Amino acid sequence: MYLKGPVLSGKPEARFEAYARAYAGCGSLPSTSYRRSYARMYEFLASQTHGTEKKYRDHWLARPGDIIGRTVRLEALDKTRHLHEFFQITNGDAYQENKSYDPKDIWCFREAGPFQNTDELYESFVFQHQRENKATFAIIEFLTDRLVGIVQLLDDDPNNLSISIEPPIVKPANEGTVEQIEACFLLMDRLFAMGYRRIQYSVDSMDSTGKKLAGRLGFTQEGILPKHRIVKDSNRDSIIYGMLNSDWDKGARSFLFKKLHGAKAQQQDSARNAREAETEEQQNLLKDRQAAELWAKALKATPE
């Protein structure tokens, strides 16, 4: 566990409670090492001040299933919570501190868009999940609670433990930023911790921004599929990238963790994971030895 920061005055249990909240919020499916790493980072972020402790605690009580990162959190996409703001940040108009832009910069490589109104957007692939093996997450900037964009998972294949992640759709100001990268990291880390063996990333061969993101995330190019799709009446040649669980465990995760949280945090996380894995192995060996001794005693006590 982290639990290395100063104790918050009046809240001596705040760090332990934060760790426990995050650990419980992961559910039972992800690996133990992932849950501990996730909970350590959450505890560190949540317990910096009384203000952060209250914000993280209140948010967890309202939405315990959200995936929390340093700069962003991931929420299941919802019409009521996200439709209007997502339209505002992707329709090309000036919005808040962002200047106007050509919406084709966002939608030119997507199967639909730009959209004229929220009704069109709601009826599009963004919000309509006819396929059961698809999920969409809103990317929320944690500091401001503003919507940054969305990221989608497609082609979930639990039998073969593979899934696809689409290039996130974000407002132009967030292209290539830490928020976009962390959103992908949070999903990839959770997926591999749940036992997935391969994550695919597919992008239009003309999409230079999408190809750059693949490199920033550490994906390996696996091939090109000519005329893979028809997008807006045009041929799309798709570049296929892949990330394997073995690549993730052997360095890709550490590379991204270091990029997001710094070298010191990455070293501490790796060291703690190694110590915890060693402790777990010792405990398992002890349990096996105790079970063997009990079995031997039972055999001796059994009359011939």
37 and 16 co-located in one domain = yes
In DSSP terms, 221 is beta-bridged to 241
The predicted structure's pLDDT at residue 280: 78
Give the pLDDT score at 297: 79
**DSSP-derived secondary structure letter, 252:** I
CA 85 to chain centre: 21
Residues 17 and 108 in one domain: no
How high is the pLDDT of residue 245? 98
- Check whether residue 60 and residue 70 sit in a common domain: no
CATH of the domain at 170: 3.40.630.30
Distance CA 139, CA 150 (A): 5
Q: Structural domain of residue 54, as residue ranges?
A: 7-65
One domain, residues 132 and 232: yes
SS3 140: strand
pTM summary value: 0.91
**Contacts with 78 (C-beta within 8 Å, 6 or more apart), sequence order:** 138
Residue 46 shares a structural domain with residue 155: no
Same domain, residue pair 40 and 101? no
49 and 124, same domain (yes or no): no
Query: Is-cis flag, bond preceding 114, omega within 30?
Result: yes
Contact 277, 33 (CB under 8 A): yes
> Both 61 and 90 in a single domain?
no
Residue 165's SS3 state is strand
Q: Report yes or no on 244 lying in a domain.
A: yes
Q: How far is CA 16 from CA 6, 101, 189, 267, in A?
A: 12, 46, 23, 22
Domain-embedded: residue 274: yes
Residues 134 and 28 in one domain: no
The one-digit pLDDT tens for each residue of the chain (304 residues) are 455 678 899 999 999 999 999 999 999 999 999 999 999 999 999 999 999 999 999 999 999 999 999 999 999 999 999 999 999 999 999 998 889 999 999 999 999 999 999 999 999 999 987 666 899 999 999 989 999 999 999 999 999 999 999 999 999 888 889 999 999 999 999 999 999 999 999 999 999 999 999 999 999 999 999 999 999 989 999 999 999 999 999 999 999 999 999 999 999 898 888 888 777 778 788 888 888 888 877 777 776 6
Tell whether 59 and 207 lie within a shared domain. Answer: no
User: Domain check: are 221 and 269 in the same one?
Assistant: yes
Residues 95 and 205 in one domain: yes
Domain count, the chain: 2
Cα(169)–Cα(135) distance, integer angstroms = 14
